[in-house]
Structure 1
Amino acid sequence: MYFDNIKMFNLNDEVRNIDKIYAHLKENELQYETLENHMNLSLHYFEKLCKDKNLDNVFLNFQNSFFKEASYEDIGLWKELICNTIYMHDLGKINPNFQREKMKNTFFEMTNSMNSKHSLMSSIIYFNYYFNEVNKRKGEQKKTLLLFLLINSYVISRHHGYLGDIKEYIDKLYYSLKEDKKEELINYKGSFESISKLRNLNENFNKIIAELEGGKTWISLDIYIYTRFIYGILVSCDFYATSHYSGNKEIEDIGVIEDVEKYLKGFRETEVCKSINQYRRFLDGEDINPFGKDDINQLRTEMFLESEENLIKNLNEDIFFLEAPTGSGKTNTSINLAFTLLEKNKELNKIFYVFPFNTLVEQTKDSLLKVFNNYEDIKNEIAVINSITPIKMCKDEESTLKYEKSLLSRQFLHYPMTLTTHVNIFNYLFGIGREDVFPLVHMANGVLILDEIQSYRNLIWKEIIIFLKAYARLLNIKIIIMSATLPNLEKLSYDKTGFTKLIKQREKYFSNKLFKERVELDFSLLQCDLSNDDNVLLDKVIGSSLELKEIDDLEGKVVVEFIKKTSAMKFFKALNERVEEDNLDVEVLLITGDDNKIERKRIINKVKQERNLILVATQVIEAGVDIDMDIGFKDTALLDGEEQFLGRINRSCKKKNCKVFFFNKDEANVIYKNDVRKMNDLILKNDDIKTILMNKNFDLFYEKVMERLEEESKRINVDINIDDFRKEKMCKLKFEDIKDKMKLINDDRFMYTVFLNREIEDEDGKVISGENIWKEYKSILMDNKLPYAERRVKLSIIAEKLDYFTYQIDKIGFTYNDVLGNMIYIEDGEQYFENGKFSKELLQKHESFEFC
């Protein structure tokens, strides 16, 4: 083990009255936990994390980054500093004021300062105790050890807070150490005399990082990741130890995949995998070809096998790119890649599946549950983490422990397979709060599958790939990035090693007629001015719908996508009027981001099962909506979106005469303000871009995009310039600024949540009353006697039902009946729906502003 035979801080030698000092108090039972017990429990959970999560390789990666040329003794001290960061984090509780005020410990009296805080005190003791040891070292390693002594002590000081300004902390530490009178530390036997040798700590801190950065560009990034990782481990061990004491129960299962063979067995029993394995045997001359002529499944299988082969050849790489056409079976391919990585690398023990939208999360969860339909134990190990999915309940006999364990599992991602969103993952990678970093240690030695990562702000693509590469290298995370329109992000990284393309024969798939020619593209409507008049589009859509009825092989399904919700609503209304006026035998449906999960499933099921319909939609259908339409109409936006939309047409690749018409209704730059892909020469207004879309030559498109991004990154602006960001933010460990920089969605508008009371039917026809859901939500919030864990779990359960009735608005100017936080309750919500759809315009027509 990496941390074998480490010298630990000796409590009995260094602390007075240690047997009288408490760490925690169960007030209702008047039971105390000694500080020594809490310190030992924290260390126990550190050792457990290192063992269960195979963290030896992670700490060795950090060692190789910071101490490659260091002596055995210096590395030994570094290891000791890390272990004792965990062990000594609560030593400040020896503060008599903490004991008397917080622990009700009558053995101690309050001091004159009345200061009962303990985190800063812990960091002072830690820094003071190890300063002499560090000061004895010589050369460059002395400076590096001082740097990590400061970082570790900073982390200790923040273990009940968030990662704030490290400069402010170092100043506070420096002046605290210089004070003559330390009455809060009267129980600490150590001397502070050596601290007189201290000079300006902040100056030293900045100088050391600058020197390290001068010798190795971007080592500041490794320091940043180390700081967040140690902070994450410390707050985790502290939380585990406290939970262990509170519940009087060991935390045993942290949700790792111990037996990947079980998963592989279930996966390989699926019909898809059976066909793939038969095709393997066919290639070896041992079986017949399971696929007929022009069967798209053969192409999907060849892609599946090629990606697997290239993965196995490059197991030591960090980041794998899976570029595959829409409808090529990326889900099955990526599942296979994840399990193959776990099979070949025994240190890997978790899988994270990450998507841009909740709809994709839900769709993939359903796919995985089907794959493992006969394996209840595996299905129970798959968890969805987002704002509208209830916390997965642990099966525990005792009610209180059930809630505690369930919440703990959610906070720390104690699940072998986690499905979540990019926003959540970026919180884990860049967030500054305790709950943001709880999952970070569990991401180490994991497989991270990122779907459509390029769908976010491309002004930070360069930073994204640099950070992902560093996290992968240091925490031994294997990252699979997949998309049908995947930019070569490797070009944006300063480190060009560690990347692998899993599909080498790209043209074999993208140029194959089954993918390339499954949909005919028509750009004629781009010549029409539709900005103020939908009649041309209405005529074309209705005409296409009528023509489809004459084609036996097609089902008469048309989809029309707009980039603005208001345009979609207006067209839906006009289309319904025309259908009614002309007495047409066609059903008109509308799907937008406002639709709740029940409504969305109802619409999708209807589209799948019925014929002769027109679906009006917003961009919500571009991903995560599994539909197969005959004809499509799309308002032009970004090229990625155009290709995603094409994937909703002739998805099976078995139909003929399928076509997509592009039109220009709303300007994309209103939606994609800072996205370079919205520029006129990079959208379908440009004939070159039309050709790129028809030929699926997205490499050429992204070469143009990369050139723009490179230009942007060199601008003289600290918010954009990559070198300025590195020097001014990374090198100074400005955690809050880095978090803000790496926001995936840059929308600072304050939004209100409005709850519209009405009655809806679920999938089984059961009526759900909004009023009852509101009352239940309110009762949970108002119940002050409800234990914290039980409240969090129950709120997560009711959140799923709240989502059926809630909508986001940016201003209020209407009558409402109740309010909880920024959630507004309207008793008669039905009046704000038109044709079964929420209308923001109807809601905001009301001029009054009062509380009823």
Structure 2
Amino acid sequence: MTKFEDIFDFQGKYKYLAHIKDERKETLQEHTDLANIYFEKIVEYKNLKTFFERIKNILKLEDIEEELYYKMIYDVVNFHDFGKINSQFQINKMLNKEVLKMEDEYNISGVLGSDHSLLSASIFIRFYFRKILKLEDKKKKNLLQEILFSLSYCISKHHGNLEDFQEKYIDFIFNENTEEKSSVEKNVVELKKIFVSNGGILKDIETKGFTPKNIKNYKERRKDISSKEAMAIFTLTKMMFSLLIASDYYSTNEFMQEVKYENFGNMGDIDIIKKEYENSEIIKSIRNKKKNETLNNKDINTFRTKIFLEAEKNLEKNEDSNIFFLEAPTGSGKSNTALNLSLKLLDKNRRKIFYVYPFNTLVEQNMNTLKNIFGNNEEVIKNIAVVNSVTPLTNKDSADIPIEEYSDILMDRQFLNYPFIVTTHVGIFNTLVGNIKEDCMPFYQLANSVIVFDEIQAYKNIIWTEIIKILNSYAKLLNIKIIIMSATLPDLSYLLDEDEKNNVSNLIENRDEYFNNDIFKNRVKVNYDLLSEKKIEYEELLEHIIENSLNSPKILIEFISKNDAKEFYELCKNSEELNINREILILTGEDNKARRNSVIKKINNKSKKIILISTQLIEAGVDIDVDIGYKNISGLDNEEQFLGRINRSCKKSGKAYFFYLTDAKKVYRNSVIIENKLNLFSDEMKKVLENKKFDIFYSKVLEILKRKTKEKSNDNFEGIIFNKKFKLLKERMQLIEEQDDKKTYFFNRKLTDEEVEEIGENINGSEVWRKYVDILKEENYAKKIVELSKIREKMMYFLYEVKKNVELSYNDIKGSIIYIDDGDKYFTDGIYNGGNEDMFI
């Protein structure tokens, strides 16, 4: 690491400041030293030296090249605030009277205002550019220059977001497409004013070499960087940006809050959680069956045990792989199997687990499962954290939180300082490929971890290629072990290059042994009597249910349009035949957590007769078990997920009817499955569903995706990585389309008795809104964010998304949330009835 005195010579004349608080001052040198301490702490804590070594080996850097590589890495944090010597920063931000005494010719003025980040980057570039230029190996010189500018980009952006390295940074600092001097050239002029030779404080670092010719040579040779090398440098850039932000945050917070930080979110004694898991009843039962070989092939638990043990065996056999596919039928115990596998993958270096689910409903559901498995062992439970948009950052009462503790709570969330994280697809992908500062902050936490993805086929299929490529690359570079599980699992390795496929292993060798067994294969009989290319009428569907299904206690009807679900619900509520000794329920994406949980409890109550009308949110793993199912067709993978809600226990005889009412193209936009009609209108797809041969179905999907990848020319995945187009990558890999046509309303309404019972208290909407408005006025940023996360949980019982073209009279508006005081008139039995516009959920 470059020493502070190698760059600066204060000569006892000036005290440059980095931070001030009240009467306390922190000098630039003090902050730099402290930031370096935190950088080294985190690198050691997260065992990131092996990551830097992997990057070095991929780039084949040795001797002097290797020395320069490590010096630049360790100098990123060192140099990040050197630009605070900018006199405008010192005068305007630090109120530094000492700087006012400096002679004008030594001041930096006008180029950057009071900014310091780009000036810091310029000093970093100038310090290393000439050193790299002296190297003889042109290839290594080119790689190190790419690293130099990438790391300087991190410095220039450490108070902002990563955008486009090529267009927004390289072209900018080299002043492409303009006749004016480049930003770096301007900084060169300004830097000369403060060299020691002129009586200033910045030592006369290498001033030669930064010429148009050398810059042109670098830009021309960039094309010689391979895809593998480009991915390595891309990942290094993301890592260093994350570490720089973390080191800066922790050191700044130590000065501001006078608190030291030592724990950065690894699992403590992993033997505790492993021992607790092995002592759980379900695992003792599995181990006992294995020991005594008491397997009954007519019992579903036999197959759950066999899948559990086979996956465990194949994990050990393929321990060098980084990505593992777990494909097993619905109801076969995948979640428990994956938990066992993830615990097996923990070791002295890998000490963090991420569990990733498609929706918040599944996050809550599986968190409850983990609590049941680990019982009341607080030592284990305290390590597990739910990280999503609806869970408070803390459950502590506000009165019990000292003001300085808010900062710690917020930082733990920002940097994911939790050993075992249960989160959503959107949450993890923000960290994986996000470009804004908040997304990138916890990126270093991915290193040396285990990530379990559930229902990955729920992602937009048009980005499956990008998903598997980024996961495969990160897995190798960051030492991540990834488990991908589903009952309908595409072989995403088909989308990788041949030399990359050996990184992937299947944990179930012969899937047909399980899928074609009668317990799973014939669990549900599929009927197509209602299916034709002519749209079905509500009355025809109702009549069929009355004539064929009323002897069954539990009936599920799934629509893919929320309006269809609501209209059919009203029809059913008015049917005398349906309402005899049974309850008619509806569940859509509008429903809050309390109502959703209440409905699920009712349908799982064995003594109740229920008809549940739902949208497709019911498909992805929601833990219900019905006897009969009706569904509007969409894609074949959706149909299998739907069948997974029928006869889950495999103890009865289930039946499913498919019909056509709404065209799936209205709902599933940009889906190659829907666009290519891979649905139940095809006899081939009917056979696939019947025989559970999803490899036939997915082979068609993957072939289409591979063809589309070859057709892409501009801004393909490799080009995005090569030019480090961080913002475009985030936009390209967005899992959920932005809903610009929606408005968020807060309806002040009276909660139903069922909601109150589920929540455990009666929440007053107007009081919640008043508290929300008060929190928005809070001046302490950390306290405001933490308190907003707590009130947000209560607000979710009153928040609804409504089409923009629906005009409702409102009483208040704060930010993007519109408040309606007389909200009860828009609801019937807890169900939103306002407006006639359809919303697809």
Alignment TM-score, normalising by the size of structure 2: 0.92
Query: What residue number does 2:800 align with?
Result: 807
Find the aligned partners of 2:215 and 2:599 in 1 and give their Cα distance.
60
Are 2:744 and 2:800, in contact at CA under 8 Å, matched by a contact in 1? yes
Cα deviation, residue 512, structure 1 = 1.0
CA 1:65/1:188 → structure 2, altered by over 3 Å: closer, same or farther?
farther
Find the aligned partners of 2:213 and 2:394 in 1 and give their Cα distance.
50
Are 1:206 and 1:732, in contact at CA under 8 Å, matched by a contact in 2? no
Query: What residue number does 1:117 align with?
Result: 115
Are 1:393 and 1:402, in contact at CA under 8 Å, matched by a contact in 2? no
1:178 to 157, 166, 185: 185
SS in 2 for 1:578: coil
Cα deviation, residue 258, structure 1 = 2.8
Are 2:594 and 2:759, in contact at CA under 8 Å, matched by a contact in 1? no
SS in 2 for 1:623: coil
Name the stretch that deviates more: 568-577 or 806-815.
806-815
1:575 to 568, 572, 584: 572
Describe the superposition over 1:539-574 as per-residue Cα deviations: whole angstroms up to 9, x where unpaired: 1222344223xxxxxxx1111000110000000000
1:788 aligns with 2:795: no
CA 1:670/1:661 → structure 2, altered by over 3 Å: closer, same or farther?
same
Cα deviation, residue 680, structure 1 = 5.6
Query: What residue number does 1:553 align with?
Result: none
Are 1:359 and 1:624, in contact at CA under 8 Å, matched by a contact in 2? no
Cα deviation, residue 844, structure 1 = 10
Describe the superposition over 1:337-389 as per-residue Cα deviations: whole angstroms up to 9, x where unpaired: 000001xx421010001111111111111111111112112111111111111
CA 1:699/1:17 → structure 2, altered by over 3 Å: closer, same or farther?
farther
Cα deviation, residue 592, structure 1 = 0.6
Query: What residue number does 1:552 align with?
Result: none
CA 1:50/1:448 → structure 2, altered by over 3 Å: closer, same or farther?
same
Find the aligned partners of 2:284 and 2:206 in 1 and give their Cα distance.
73
**Residues 418-497 of structure 1 correspond to what in structure 2 (within 5 A)?**
418-494=421-497, 495-497=500-502
Query: What residue number does 1:605 align with?
Result: 601
What amino acid is the match of 1:308?
E
SS in 2 for 1:194: coil
1:776 to 764, 771, 779: 771
Name the stretch that deviates more: 147-156 or 388-397.
388-397
**Residues 434-833 of structure 1 correspond to what in structure 2 (within 5 A)?**
434-494=437-497, 495-527=500-532, 529-531=534-536, 533-548=537-552, 556-579=553-576, 584-609=580-605, 610-656=607-653, 658-679=654-675, 681-716=677-712, 718=714, 724-727=716-719, 729-747=720-738, 749-760=740-751, 761-762=755-756, 763=758, 766-783=761-778, 785=779, 787-811=780-804, 812-833=806-827
What amino acid is the match of 1:496?
K
Query: What residue number does 1:3 align with?
Result: none
Query: What residue number does 1:207 align with?
Result: 220
Find the aligned partners of 1:350 and 1:755 in 2 and give their Cα distance.
38
Name the stretch that deviates more: 369-378 or 472-481.
369-378
Name the stretch that deviates more: 662-671 or 190-199.
190-199
CA 1:104/1:330 → structure 2, altered by over 3 Å: closer, same or farther?
same
CA 1:603/1:244 → structure 2, altered by over 3 Å: closer, same or farther?
same
**Residues 44-55 of structure 1 correspond to what in structure 2 (within 5 A)?**
44-55=37-48
**Residues 36-51 of structure 1 correspond to what in structure 2 (within 5 A)?**
36-51=29-44
**% identical aligned pairs:** 40
1:305 aligns with 2:297: no
SS in 1 for 2:631: strand
Query: What residue number does 1:834 align with?
Result: 828
1:21 aligns with 2:45: no
Cα deviation, residue 673, structure 1 = 2.2
Describe the superposition over 1:389-429 as per-residue Cα deviations: whole angstroms up to 9, x where unpaired: 10035899861232111111000000001111111111111
Cα deviation, residue 8, structure 1 = 3.9
**Residues 387-398 of structure 1 correspond to what in structure 2 (within 5 A)?**
387-392=389-394
Describe the superposition over 1:750-785 as per-residue Cα deviations: whole angstroms up to 9, x where unpaired: 4210111112142265321111111110111123x4
Query: Any unmatched runs of 5+ in structure 1?
Result: 1-5, 284-288, 549-555, 846-852
Cα deviation, residue 13, structure 1 = 5.1
**Would you say how many aligned residue pairs link Structure 1 and Structure 2?**
808
Cα deviation, residue 160, structure 1 = 0.6
Find the aligned partners of 1:18 and 1:123 in 2 and give their Cα distance.
25
SS in 2 for 1:125: helix
- Runs of at least 4 residues off by over 6 Å: 394-398
Describe the superposition over 1:40-70 as per-residue Cα deviations: whole angstroms up to 9, x where unpaired: 111111111111111122111111112x2x3
Are 1:623 and 1:644, in contact at CA under 8 Å, matched by a contact in 2? yes
Find the aligned partners of 1:484 and 1:542 in 2 and give their Cα distance.
32
Find the aligned partners of 2:566 and 2:36 in 1 and give their Cα distance.
59
What amino acid is the match of 1:804?
Y
Find the aligned partners of 1:497 and 1:512 in 2 and give their Cα distance.
30
Aligned-residue Cα RMSD (Å) equals 2.2
Query: What residue number does 1:415 align with?
Result: 418
Are 1:129 and 1:190, in contact at CA under 8 Å, matched by a contact in 2? no
Query: What residue number does 1:73 align with?
Result: 64
Find the aligned partners of 1:16 and 1:751 in 2 and give their Cα distance.
61
Describe the superposition over 1:281-313 as per-residue Cα deviations: whole angstroms up to 9, x where unpaired: 124xxxxx2x55511111001101111111111
Name the stretch that deviates more: 606-615 or 106-115.
106-115
CA 1:207/1:454 → structure 2, altered by over 3 Å: closer, same or farther?
farther
Query: What residue number does 2:150 align with?
Result: 151
CA 1:683/1:171 → structure 2, altered by over 3 Å: closer, same or farther?
closer
1:56 aligns with 2:59: no
1:132 to 125, 130, 136: 130
Query: What residue number does 1:194 align with?
Result: 207
Describe the superposition over 1:580-606 as per-residue Cα deviations: whole angstroms up to 9, x where unpaired: x77622210001110000000111111
Find the aligned partners of 1:21 and 1:826 in 2 and give their Cα distance.
53
Find the aligned partners of 2:401 and 2:763 in 1 and give their Cα distance.
30
Cα deviation, residue 747, structure 1 = 3.6
Cα deviation, residue 71, structure 1 = 2.5
Are 1:99 and 1:108, in contact at CA under 8 Å, matched by a contact in 2? yes
Alignment TM-score, normalising by the size of structure 1: 0.91
Describe the superposition over 1:706-741 as per-residue Cα deviations: whole angstroms up to 9, x where unpaired: 12112222225536xxxx4423x3322222122211
Describe the superposition over 1:781-831 as per-residue Cα deviations: whole angstroms up to 9, x where unpaired: 123x4x111110000001111111011123142211110111111111111
What amino acid is the match of 1:452?
E
